[in-house]
């Protein structure tokens, strides 16, 4: 979650003073409220950004027309996020998004005044807005309205982050957290408090209950998955992998992105064990020749650079071991040995808060290819343990090969 403090004041010095306390209390974003911008103009945005360069500054313009012009003005004065009204014409919003893209900032569309918020939220998502704000205005709050009902409906409908505003305080914030808000906007509960910084810290403390749940759930997901991979390892695959390494003249390791980092860590350990090993892409990597082995790591088995390398290795008369989630992938079909490491599997759209926050159609909190990469890393560490036992190498032996120029 992100805490955005709405500085709906008319005095710039007072706003800066409260912002100072809120930032010290842990506020993530500082909003230059509409009243403050009307009173001080874009100067207020500029002053806020100068004072707090380490915070996102939100310009609550509530733009209704000339989206491109107003967003550019705000961007030039330091705004990181600009608010547009959801009742504005589609062209106004699209123009605003285009200018925001050019300046590297974000657009938040405020649904205040929109009758069918769910329908409009869907339309806004298709346009490419960055945040959708479910907002109950002050005049609506006086009538007893809250953003809770609309918030739940919008969060369930769209996959872009949803912000919420409207009389939120320490009592109501836990509920909006539960309903899945990403950006929680608090105004009067902080700006009217005797100790704004203290109230801000209490709100951040509420967030940390969810933060710790997210961290722990991700860790449990990962360890549970790794245990499943360990239990499901196939003897013939592991044996083929190790036999290929032992018989190779030179070993080349190749992976892209995070898989590449896992591969490099494995190559380093093989070097500690006196294997003749190289990482593909390094400037000192020699030619691949007959009798050499390529260890190719790709969760999908379709990463073009990895597939290309496997094809070259085969053409040079070498062997290929593929570590992938898909044995029938292009990479899997090219390999002499396939080591299957399952990644995450698709399931229904999650209903729990944490999974929704990850904006994913998968049941796992762990993002993107993490389960494959972490499982691969642990498996390869297991292989290193086997090789240490096979060649009677101790940690003391390996430390002799450890880098001394670092």
What is the distance, to the nearest Å, from the Cα of residue 76 to the centroid of all Cα atoms in its chain?
A: 27
Instruction: Read off the tokens for 196.
Output: 């704004």
Nearest Cα to Cα of residue 278 among 253, 300, 299, 261: 253
Q: Is the dihedral of CA 35, 38, 42, 46 positive or negative?
A: negative
Instruction: Read off the tokens for 73.
Output: 């003005």
Nearest Cα to Cα of residue 222 among 371, 96, 116, 333: 371
Instruction: Read off the tokens for 118.
Output: 């769910």
Of the candidates 70, 72, 152, 373, the residue annotated as catalytic is: 373
Task: Please name the residue that has the structure tokens 């298709």.
Answer: 126
Cα gap 81→71, rounded to integer Å: 9
- Residue 281 Ramachandran class (φ > 0 left, ψ -120 to 50 alpha, else beta): left
Per DSSP, which regions of 142-218 are E strands?
Answer: 162-165, 183-186
List all residues 6 or more positions away from 223 whose beta carbon is below 8 Å from its beta carbon.
Answer: none
Cα gap 71→93, rounded to integer Å: 10
Burial (CB count <10 Å: 0-12, 13-18, 19+), residue 65: exposed
Cα gap 47→38, rounded to integer Å: 15
Instruction: Read off the tokens for 43.
Output: 């100067």
362 touches 344 (CB < 8 A): yes
- Residue 41 Ramachandran class (φ > 0 left, ψ -120 to 50 alpha, else beta): left
Residue 224 designated active-site: no
Cα gap 261→266, rounded to integer Å: 9
Contacts 24+ apart (CB under 8 A), 89-96: 89/65, 90/123, 90/127, 91/67, 92/63, 92/64, 92/65, 92/66, 92/67, 93/67, 93/124, 93/127, 93/129, 94/67, 94/127, 95/67, 95/68, 95/71, 96/63, 96/67, 96/68, 96/70, 96/71
By annotation, the residues acting in catalysis are 373
């Amino acid at each position: 979650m992100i805490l955005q403090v709405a500085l709906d004041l008319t005095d710039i010095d007072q706003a800066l003073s409260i912002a100072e306390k809120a930032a010290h209390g842990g506020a993530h974003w500082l909003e230059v409220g509409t009243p403050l911008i009307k009173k001080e103009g874009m100067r207020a945005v500029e002053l806020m950004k100068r004072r707090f360069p380490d915070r996102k500054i939100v310009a609550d313009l509530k733009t209704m027309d000339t989206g491109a012009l107003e967003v550019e003005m705000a961007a030039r004065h330091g705004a990181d996020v600009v608010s547009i009204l959801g009742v504005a014409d589609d062209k106004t919003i699209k123009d605003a998004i285009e200018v925001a893209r050019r300046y590297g900032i974000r657009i938040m569309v405020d649904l205040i005044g929109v009758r069918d918020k769910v329908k409009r939220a869907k339309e806004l998502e298709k346009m490419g807005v960055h945040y959708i704000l479910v907002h109950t205005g002050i005049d609506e709050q006086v009538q007893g309205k809250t953003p809770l009902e609309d918030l739940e409906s919008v969060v369930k409908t769209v996959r872009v982050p949803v912000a919420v505003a409207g009389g939120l305080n320490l009592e109501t914030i836990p509920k909006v957290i539960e309903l899945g808000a990403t950006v929680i906007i608090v105004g009067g509960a902080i700006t009217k408090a005797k100790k704004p910084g203290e109230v801000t810290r209490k709100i951040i403390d509420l967030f940390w209950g969810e933060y710790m749940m997210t961290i722990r759930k991700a860790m449990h997901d990962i360890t549970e998955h790794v245990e499943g991979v360990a239990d499901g390892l196939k003897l013939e695959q592991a044996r083929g992998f190790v036999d290929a390494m032992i018989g190779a003249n030179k070993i080349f390791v190749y992976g892209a992105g995070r898989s590449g980092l896992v591969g490099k860590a494995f190559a380093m350990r093989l070097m500690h064990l006196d294997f003749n090993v190289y990482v593909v892409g390094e400037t000192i990597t020699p030619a691949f020749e007959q009798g050499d082995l390529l260890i190719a790591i790709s969760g999908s088995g379709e990463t073009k650079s990895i597939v290309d390398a496997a094809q070259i290795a085969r053409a040079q008369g070498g062997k290929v071991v593929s570590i992938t989630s898909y044995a029938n992938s292009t990479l899997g079909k090219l390999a002499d040995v396939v080591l299957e490491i399952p990644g995450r599997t698709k399931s229904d759209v999650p209903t729990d808060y944490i999974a929704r926050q990850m904006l994913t159609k998968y049941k796992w909190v762990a993002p993107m290819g993490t389960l494959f990469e972490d499982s691969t890393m642990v498996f390869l560490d297991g292989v290193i343990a086997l090789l240490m036992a096979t060649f009677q190498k101790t940690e003391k032996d390996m430390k002799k090969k450890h880098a001394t120029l670092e």
